[in-house]
Amino acid sequence: GNSVTQMEGPVTLSEEAFLTINCTYTATGYPSLFWYVQYPGEGLQLLLKATKADDKGSNKGFEATYRKETTSFHLEKGSVQVSDSAVYFCALQETSGSRLTFGEGTQLTVNP
Amino acid sequence: GAVVSQHPSWVICKSGTSVKIECRSLDFQATTMFWYRQFPKQSLMLMATSNEGSKATYEQGVEKDKFLINHASLTLSTLTVTSAHPEDSSFYICSAWTGGTGNTIYFGEGSWLTVV
């Protein structure tokens, strides 16, 4: 079956540091890949997505590239801010409209 | 982007009572809605998938008679927790698919349920 594995957290960084959160996946087909962000006490917000190999999703300074050869979709940001502190979830969707399969989530804390 | 709204955001109920949580897609029609449950510091657990006008498809281990899901229209799905117990206390999140080939699923703000 499908699965998503994220790097274990929590991750603590200083403001303006470089961020990488690793995400790898297992899927039978060619899924779409997503990063969602969850701020404390809130639902999930779509951060970025990529629907096919070599696509790069980007938003708010975050980016991730769909790497089929390594089955990865690592999230990166060049300079994090305190406001980026949240839980980040990597997810895959096998076909349009089907269920999302989530990773475990990675807690990011950015200190001033 | 598309907006999905849940209501209530917070609810406290007594053991043995039932509580209903609504999930609305505000600016699009949602063919499919999903209900998740999230425990503190954990990932989301899919409870069921609902399609407008048909019965929900529940995940293994989720009690259909306890968690009643109704998707009566293309913009509204409801989750009713029946005969609530303290162990049902959790964060419940719904999501809705916009349809078409966009592949995007949008999430509601979540609803905190506390059963006392």
- What pLDDT, in 10s, does the model give residues B24-56? 999 888 889 999 999 888 888 999 999 888 889
**Exposed/middle/buried for residue B80 (C-beta within 10 Å: 0-12, 13-18, 19+):** middle
Which of A41, A96, A102 lies nearest to residue B43, judging by beta carbons? A102
Asked if the Cβ–Cβ distance from B44 to A89 is below 8 Å, we say yes
Query: Which candidate, A80, A64, A69, places its Cα nearest to that of A16?
Result: A80
* B109 closest CB neighbour out of A36, A43, A46: A43
Higher pLDDT, A71 or A9: A71
Chain B touched by A89 (CB under 8 Å):
yes
pLDDT-derived band of residue B1, with 50, 70 and 90 as boundaries? low
Beta-carbon separation of A105 and B110 below 8 A: no
pLDDT mean over B75-100: 92
**Of A61-70, B33-42, B82-91, which gets the smallest average pLDDT?**
B33-42
Nearest to A85 by CA among A5, A6, A12, A7: A12
In chain A, residues with a C-beta closer than 8 Å to the C-beta of B6 are: 43
> So what's the pLDDT on residue B99?
73
At A106 the pLDDT is 95
Measured between CB atoms, does A59 come within 8 Å of chain B?
A: no
Amino acid at B114: T
Sheet holding B19-25, edge to edge: B4-7, B19-25, B76-81, B67-73
Rounded to a whole number of angstroms, the distance from the CA of A79 to the nearest CA of chain B is: 25
CA distances from A96 to A15, A32, A45, B31, B98 (A): 37, 8, 18, 12, 10
Report the pLDDT value the prediction gives residue A42, as an integer from 0 to 100.
85
pLDDT at B103: 60
Average pLDDT for A68-94: 96
**Amino acid in position B8:** P
Structural contact between residues B99 and B52, judged by C-beta atoms closer than 8 angstroms? no
CB-closest option in B46, B108, B110 to A99: B46
Of B46, B93, B99, the CB nearest to A97: B99
Inter-chain touch B103–A107, beta carbons under 8 Å? no
**Other beta carbons within 10 Å of A109:** 14
**Whole-number mean pLDDT of chain B?**
91
Q: What's the whole-number mean pLDDT along residues B58-74?
A: 93
